[in-house]
Each structure stands twice: as C-alpha cells, then as structure tokens.
A and B are shown apart, each in its own frame.
Chain A
Amino acid sequence: MKLAKMFMATSALTLAGNVATAEDMANELTLVSWGGAYQASQVKAYVEPYLEMHPDVKVTWDESSGEAVAKLRAMNETGNVTWDLVDVVASDSMRLCDEGLAEEINHDEDLAAAPDGTSASDDFGDLLVSDCFVPQIVYSTTFGYRTDLVGDTAPTTVCDIFDLAKYPGKRSLQKRPIDNMEWALYCDGVEKDAIYDTLGTDEGVSQALAKLDTIKDQVVWWTAGAETPQLLADGEVVMGSTFNGRLFSAIAEQNQPIEMLWDMQSFDLDGWVVPAGLPADRKARVMDFLKFATDTQRLADQAAYISYGPARASSAPLVGKHAELGIDMAPHMPTDPANSGNVHVYDYEWWADNRDDLNAKFEAWLAK
C-alpha cells in the first residue's frame, strides 16, 4: 500500500518535473543529511541561496545519513532510489563507491574551480579520498573536559585520558575501534608514523587493547554524537571524545563549563555522494545543485553556522564570524593552526581493509 503510494507519488512528480523545465531537470530534490545543527548550516549556506536562484525547485530532507549505506543498498536492490544527494562520512563514501552504489564524480568537470582558477581536484587536494566523494567539511573527533571536575591542572595531551591517577572519574569514548586504538598506541609510546604498522600485527592489536584495558572500567561508550556533550553537562564524565562541532555548541551556545582538548584530534571528512542509477533529469538537477553547493564561497559560508572547517583550501581565508553569536569562527575550526599542532590523520584505506577484522576483536574485547 505504502509502497504503491510512494511509487505513484514519485512517478507523478517526475512527470511533472519533465514538463515543467525546458532543460530537462527535475524540480524535486531529495537531500539526505544528519539533521540538527549541521543540516541547518547546509540549509542556510547553500540550499536557501540555491532555492532563491531556482524558485521552481522543491527540496525534501531526509535525516537518514546515519543509516545511509544500508538504505541505499536496499533502495538499489529494489531498483527504486528515492534519494538524490546523500551526505555521508568519508569511510561510508568509500564503501558506497566500492559497492557500486554511488556515482563516480569527475571532480574537475563536475565541480566549480576555485576563484583563482585552481582546479577543483587541486583545491580539495588529498581530501578526495574516494572517486565518488565530494567533501564539504573537515571535522574532528576530539576531547572536551569539564573545567570544574579536572582539578587545578587542566589536561593538555590526549594521554591524560589514560591517566586515571591524575584525572579520576569516568570518560566517554566512541564505541568503535577507529581512533581509540590509535590513541591507545600513541599513548603507549608508539611513534605516530608507526601506528598503522603496529596496528596491522596481532601484537599491536593486543597492545592497543591492553592500554584501553587500563581505563575500561571507567569508560562510558557512546554511539551518537550528542551523548558526550550531554554526559559532560550532567557531570557523568569528566572528559570525553566527540565531534568538535558538538563541543563548540555546548561551550559557545550553551555556556557549559567545558573546554576543548585539541591534542591528537582525529580529522575526518563529511561530504556528498550521488546515488548510482538516477534517471537523467534528476541527475542533471543534482549535478547542478552539487556544483553550486560545493563552490568556494558556499563552503566558506557554511562555516558561519557551524565550527567545521571548509574542505576547499580556497575557502579557508573567507571564513568569517558566527552568523548569530558574532564570534570569530577561525579559532574554533579544527584546521586552525593553534588547534592543529598535533593531529592524527586517520588512514581511510587502512581502515577500509581492516575494519571488519578489528571490529570483531574490539567487540570481543568489549564483551569480556
């Protein structure tokens, strides 16, 4: 019943779209994102301006990015892809690309060049981690701590997470091996360059888990980004990892007694993928929107609403003040030189290969 209704609705809409535009572009755009403050920043920075330029277009949002990979696979199998543009993290974009569920992008042709003429692929640089991926923002997974619960000396390095003597109390970590294993090895004396070589051996995995074992009893494991700010606000944990934008809003917008700890922050990317197998008219509309939404100015505009760094090198100088709070955004960006003195660059390729294996070991360790 529901399926039939949906099918009827979409076919009616595509029909209408065909008639309405001369240039064969659908007038319906279904965007998938994460909801919350992040989606709001996308609406303000590029969806609303785009709709002003194209008043015929109607945008529908679906807040399903968390399950985007599974849903896209299911849609693809039934041959009824209802999404037009999907916001996913970089590792998911690699998986979608590998599975043939996302369209490959020709970055130089499909995307706008920088104002000074630098091609899109040079402007995004190393951030183009997958052939299907158009990055929007650089975010980081980093730590926040309660200023009133850490005593006189505030934590300065990521290894303070593992120091129960100096900072007693619970800490929250994300319930996944990625980042946590690297931090554990780093704090166990492994050189930063050697982390992935070490983690590739059974001994390295045991070493990382042994280090995590020292704080296991004191860890609250989170799965949703909102959990750590909530736990910090409640005083349930003294410190915890989460996405830097979440901490920014807890600190700057809600004035919680929380500080950021940027040491060894783990950079990650978020961006768009286009589902494979879209009809021509819908694809034309998506590509048109995508080109607009990921140009230099639009990505810089987004930073006025959320503290995530724009993915284009050419956008960085254009980052200004927060749209409502009026504070300078640059010092709150993970990419700011003051914050990125010591960063951890997470190896997508390595994790794509080893994620299933390490996940099994991590889950077995968690359950012990």
Chain B
Amino acid sequence: MSDMTDTGGPVLAADGTPLKRSLARALRRQKMRALMLIAPLLLFILISFILPVADMLYRSVQNGIVTETLPRSVVALADWDANSGDLPSEAVFAAMAADLKDAAAAKTHTKVGTRLNYENPGISSLFRKTGRKAKKFDVENGGPWKEALIDINKGWGDPDNWRTIQTYSPPVTAGYFLNAVDMRVGPDGAESRPESEQIYMNLLKRTLWMSLTITVCCILLAYPVAWILANLPMRQANMLMILVLLPFWTSLLVRTSAWKILLQQQGVINDILVWIGLVDDSARLVIINNQFGTIVAMTHILLPFMILPMYSVMQTIPPTYLRAAKSLGATDWTAFWRVYFPQTIPGIGAGSILVFILAIGYYITPALVGGTKGTFISNQIAFHISSSLNWGLASALGAILLAVVLVLYWAYDKIVGIDNVKLG
C-alpha cells in the first residue's frame, strides 16, 4: 500500500480538491438528506416514546419534594445524629414549624406526608393533622416549637419520624429501587425487608418462569400448526389461516372471559368431565384462579404471535430439501431434525422473542384468571400506578423489568444470534 501512495501524492478530483475531501462532502450531503427524510419519524419516536419512557424512569429516583417543601428543616437536620436516640434540637423544630406554615399555605404539606408515608407508615397523618394547625403558627414570636409541635401531635416526639425525614431529604433517592427489590434503608444502610413484606423478587421470578413456560407451550402448539399451514395447498391454507387470525382479532377481554366460563369449577370443562364420569361432582378440578389458568389463557392469547412468524419462515423452505435428504438415505426423523428443523429456527426465535416479551408485560389476563398465585409483576405495577399512586415504586419496578428484558435479549443475541431471527 505505502509504495503506491509514495509516488502519487494525494489523489485529486476533477476540480482540484483532494478526492478524499470531495468524497466526504458528497457523502455528508447524502447523509443529511437521508436524515431529513427520517426526521419526522425520529422526532415522533423521540417525543411520543423515548421522552415519556425517560420521564417515567426518572421518577424512580426523583425525590425533590422533601427539600422543596421543607427547605429549612432539611438544612437544620443535616447535623443531627439519627442514631443518638435523642430528638433534634429546638432549631430544627423551629425550622419545621416555619416550613409547615409555608407548606400548609401552599397545600403541599400533605404531598410530602404521602411521599414519606411510603417509607414510614403513619407519617402522612402526622403532616395532615399538623398542617391544619400550621396555618396559624406565629413563626417569629411563637415557641418553644419542640413542645408546641409535640403537643399538636406526639408523632413529632418520635425520633424515627425525624430519621425518615433526614434519610429521604436528598433530591435523588435509591429508596424506590430498594423497595422494588424487597429491601429498605435501615439505621445501618440497606437491609432486607422482613420476610412477611417481601413481594417483588418472588413476583419477578414467577413472571419470568411463567413467561418462559408460556413461550415453550406456544412453540410446542404452534410448530405443527405452522407446518400444516405452510404445506397445505393455498386454498386450504388460507381457510386455516382465518381460523388462526379470527381469535387474534377478537378482543382480549372476550377471550379471557371465555376461558373463565370454560375453566371455572361449575364451568364447561368440569361439567363435561363430571358428566362422562371422569371426575366426581364433589371433587371438581381447580383449573382457574391459579397458575394453570394463567398459562392456559395466555398461551391461547399469544399463540398467533408464534404461529405467524413460524409460518412465514416455513413457507420459504423448499420442500425439495426434504426430498433430497430422503433420496440420499435419511430417515423421516433425520430429514426433519437435520435438514428441516434447523431452517425453521429463525422463525422459532422471532416467535419466542415476541411471545416472551409480550407475556412478561401482561397484566389483564393474569388479573382475571390468575387468582393469587398466577399474577405477574405487571399487576403490581398497575396497582401502584392506578391505585396506590406510588409512581416512584411503579417506575422502579418497570425499570427493573426493562433491564431484565434487555439482559435476556443480549443473552439471546449471544447464544442464538439476533441475525438468526426472521419475521418473514
């Protein structure tokens, strides 16, 4: 290489500029044009997807409310040693009285109470009750505030409440994430919650293994169906395809409710089993409101997402390959396993990723047919978003779920290879 450039010097374009620079300019212009073309889509994704997700994720650590509502108290509390067992000094109480007066006027005292109540039950009524009286505080001349506040509510005499305020005063907190992995901030840093309060790690494990089970069930059921679809003559294949798509187009709620009617103890399946004498009337099977119910209903609901990519991959495999294998002496099984099956792996891969990722975030079906043992972590996320209003915890749980999915995706890429995935 170097021998050649030595003699020629920089190669020039027709207009005299070095060819390299001229080429780069032309390419840049091309790139700009391409960027302009995709700009609407890029902006759309940014505004309607990436920004909201980022905003929601930020909530999992956001904790500005405490310093914003109680600015003086947070500063005054900084020097207090929470492990001493003593109450903070009069100066802290005076700062709290001034903060509470302002907060009550702005009606934010209950907000900060709600926030701190997630960490220390009972603190929300402490703020609510004190706030009612705080509007009349005479900050300049009143006091001593220690006695005054404790007089209003004895909660102010409990060092634990002050510790909670101190611990959660920084504008960024790991509290929600700790909560989401069944831990909490104790006197000596992070510690496990007592066993009677541990929920989320078990739920996460359950969500993962049940999603995996559902994916495997889908593969087992979808493979033969996709094979038949791909190998039938066009006319019959289309007929069958409609049977696959019809449930796909039916409302999720309708399909889930149908499973309820089928599976419940006085339901169709149990009635038939009792009628033909397989099951005694007093010992009807419990096949709903547990994990079995969730797996059955979700396998059915997600099945089309497995069949369709498998079908489109199988359609592209020429039947001549199998015939060639057999003509060279392979048995039916060898021909299938060594020749046909490896070619369908991209379809299985695409279907599995689709089904698994959809399953992991499902919450309507598990809520309706899952009872207590068949619910997913997304049910807890939905609960914290819509009912308990603890959005910080909900987004911490969501962030963990997202991270788990990304790690699994990465592992999948390492093991199977993402190039090996084909949707059609």
CB of A363 within 8 A of CB of B388, answer no
Residue of A nearest to B113 (CB): A98
CB of B386 within 8 A of CB of A67, answer yes
A223 and B197 contact, Cβ closer than 8 Å, known pairs A69-B386, A98-B113, A363-B380: no
Q: Of B107, B197, B266, B390, which one neighbours A100 at CB under 8 angstroms?
A: B107
**CB neighbours of B197 from chain A (8 A):** 360-361, 364
A356 and B390 contact, Cβ closer than 8 Å, known pairs A95-B114, A367-B372: yes
Q: Of B122, B203, B390, which one neighbours A367 at CB under 8 angstroms?
A: B203
Q: How many residues of B contact A (CB 8 A)?
A: 39
A73 and B389 contact, Cβ closer than 8 Å, known pairs A236-B265, A353-B117, A353-B122: yes
CA distance A249 to B118 in the complex (A): 39
Those of B254-295 within 8 Å (CB) of chain A: 264-266, 289
- Asked if B199 lies at the interface with its beta carbon under 8 angstroms from chain A, I say yes
CA distance A290 to B423 in the complex (A): 56
- Asked if A167 lies at the interface with its beta carbon under 8 angstroms from chain B, I say no
- Asked if A355 lies at the interface with its beta carbon under 8 angstroms from chain B, I say yes
**CB neighbours of A366 from chain B (8 A):** 372
Q: Of A95, A353, A361, which one neighbours B389 at CB under 8 angstroms?
A: A95
- Asked if B111 lies at the interface with its beta carbon under 8 angstroms from chain A, I say yes
1/0 contact trace for A231-251 toward B, CB 8 Å?
Answer: 000111000000000000000
CB of B196 within 8 A of CB of A364, answer yes
**CB neighbours of A353 from chain B (8 A):** 117, 121-125
Q: How many residues of A contact B (CB 8 A)?
A: 36
CA distance A206 to B195 in the complex (A): 12
**CB neighbours of A234 from chain B (8 A):** 264, 266
Those of A311-368 within 8 Å (CB) of chain B: 349, 352-361, 363-367
CA distance A349 to B196 in the complex (A): 24
Q: Of B125, B206, B265, B266, which one neighbours A352 at CB under 8 angstroms?
A: B125
CB of A364 within 8 A of CB of B198, answer yes
**CB neighbours of B118 from chain A (8 A):** 356
CA distance A235 to B264 in the complex (A): 10
CA distance A354 to B117 in the complex (A): 8
CA distance A221 to B195 in the complex (A): 23
- Asked if A9 lies at the interface with its beta carbon under 8 angstroms from chain B, I say no
CB of B371 within 8 A of CB of A220, answer yes
CA distance A220 to B388 in the complex (A): 22
- Asked if B418 lies at the interface with its beta carbon under 8 angstroms from chain A, I say no
A98 and B196 contact, Cβ closer than 8 Å, known pairs A67-B386, A356-B117, A359-B388: no
Interface centre among A95, A359, A363, A366 (most CB of B within 10 A): A363
CB of B110 within 8 A of CB of A98, answer yes
Those of B122-138 within 8 Å (CB) of chain A: 122-125, 128
- Asked if B108 lies at the interface with its beta carbon under 8 angstroms from chain A, I say yes
CB of A355 within 8 A of CB of B372, answer no
- Asked if A97 lies at the interface with its beta carbon under 8 angstroms from chain B, I say yes
CA distance A141 to B199 in the complex (A): 27
CB of B264 within 8 A of CB of A357, answer no
CB of A69 within 8 A of CB of B387, answer yes
- Asked if A12 lies at the interface with its beta carbon under 8 angstroms from chain B, I say no
CA distance A353 to B116 in the complex (A): 10
CA distance A352 to B389 in the complex (A): 12
- Asked if A280 lies at the interface with its beta carbon under 8 angstroms from chain B, I say no
- Asked if A253 lies at the interface with its beta carbon under 8 angstroms from chain B, I say no
**CB neighbours of B203 from chain A (8 A):** 367
Q: How far is the CB of A273 from chain B (nearest CB, A)?
A: 14
- The interface of chain A, by Cβ under 8 A from chain B, is 66-67, 69-70, 73, 95, 97-100, 170, 175, 205-206, 220-221, 223, 234-236, 349, 352-361, 363-367
Further pairs besides A98-B113, A355-B388, A356-B390: 19, Cβ < 8 Å? A73-B391, A95-B114, A95-B389, A99-B389, A100-B107, A100-B111, A170-B265, A205-B196, A206-B196, A234-B264, A235-B266, A236-B266, A352-B125, A354-B122, A357-B121, A360-B197, A363-B380, A365-B196, A367-B375
In order of increasing CB-CB distance, the 6 nearest A-B pairs are A98-B110, A357-B121, A70-B386, A366-B372, A353-B125, A353-B122
A sample of 13 inter-chain contacts (CB < 8 A) reads A70-B385, A73-B391, A98-B110, A98-B113, A98-B114, A98-B128, A221-B371, A352-B124, A353-B121, A354-B122, A356-B388, A367-B199, A367-B375
